[in-house]
Amino acid sequence: MLWVENLTGGYGPVQVVQGLSFEVAAGEVVVILGANGSGKTTTLRTISGMIHGRGTVTFDGTSLLGKRPDQIVRMGIAHVPQGRGTITDLTVEENLRLGAYVRADREVEEDIEQWCAVFPRLGERRDQPAGSMSGGEQQMLAIARALMSKPKLLLLDEPSLGLAPLVTREVFEKLESINRETGAAVLVVEQNAGLALGISSRGYVLETGQIVAQGSSEELSTDEAVRQAYLGY
């Protein structure tokens, strides 16, 4: 579904990503592991049109490079940015409603109810400004808001960042069930390899802008180098 070949991209003259190739099939959960500065965020931002990239990026056969972020959302890709990106001045409900901005159907209200049921704390805090919530709740909101656009592919940028281990676990459990129930494919970039490999079927390892290893999540969890670098045992 998502096909990336020989992607380069970065900020100004600095090429953070240097010739990446990877793919995500429909309904699949794929993880890209990488340390700080390895190019994870740049990769996602190139896919969602926030920065320019070169190479080939196609989604269901259509090229994404050169398209604006709002056009890419309309094609069915939702990006939960690093640091969550909740719109702090809007209420929880307004964040969700804005998540459905690209939709023209009449089921937006039902979907708001649905995600408030899936994430009960969002339901409890519907009318509160998003900025008043804890980091974990804001991460849940960011994910729910992305799902409001009914994406075929969900991009997640380090969902565990700044969250307590228990909360991180909860976020990943939700992601797993969302993938199962909505069928949306998930591409998650992470440093927290243990949890990410636990919910994904395949993974890639990114170092200084290049893929240095890839394989099934099982293979990667038992790989010596991955274990030392990302799992810490």
Partner 1 sequence: MMVTALLAEEVSALTNFLQYTFLGLQKGAVYATIALALVIIFRVSGILNFAQGEMATFSTFITWAIWGDGRVPIWAALALSLVVSFALGASIERLVIRPVSKKAAGNPLPIVIATIGLYLAFSALAPAIWGTDAKRFPTLFGEGSLSLAGASISYQTLGTLAVLAVVVGLLFVLFQKTKIGLAMRGVASNAESASLVGVSVGSVLMLGWALSSAMGCMAGALTANVGLNGALMIAPLIYAFAAATLGGFDSPAGAVVGGLIVGLVAEYSADYLAEVPFTTITFIGEQLRIFPAFLLILVVLLVRPQGLFGKPQVTRV
Residue whose CB is less far from partner 1, 79 or 125: 79
Residue 113: enclosing H or E segment and its boundaries?
A: helix 108-118
Give min distance, CB of 232 to partner 1, in A: 29
Tell me if 126 sits within 8 A of 116, measured CB to CB.
yes
Number of chain positions touching partner 1 (CB under 8 A)? 26
| Partners of 209 in beta bridges | none
Stretch that binds partner 1, among 34-42, 73-81, 116-124, 222-230 (CB under 8 A): 73-81
Residue 87 beta carbon to partner 1: minimum distance, rounded to whole angstroms: 5
- CA 98/CA 130 separation, integer angstroms: 13
User: How far are the Cα atoms of 54, 97, 199, 202, 204 from residue 34, in angstroms, in the given order?
Assistant: 21, 33, 17, 14, 9
Is residue 197 a contact partner of residue 25, using CB atoms and an 8 Å limit? Answer: no
The verdict on 178 binding partner 1 (CB under 8 A) reads no
Separation CA 137–CA 207 (nearest Å): 31
Q: 90 or 167, CB closer to partner 1? A: 90
Least distance from partner 1 to the Cβ atom of residue 105, Å: 13
- 19-27, 81-89, 172-180, 223-231 -> range binding partner 1 (CB under 8 A): 81-89
Which residues in 116-155 contact partner 1 (CB under 8 A)?
A: 145-146, 148-149
Could you tell me whether strands 202-207 and 29-34 are parallel, antiparallel, or unpaired per DSSP bridges? parallel
**Which residues would be at the binding site for partner 1 (CB under 8 A)?**
48, 50, 68-70, 73-74, 78-79, 81, 85-90, 94, 97-99, 101-102, 145-146, 148-149
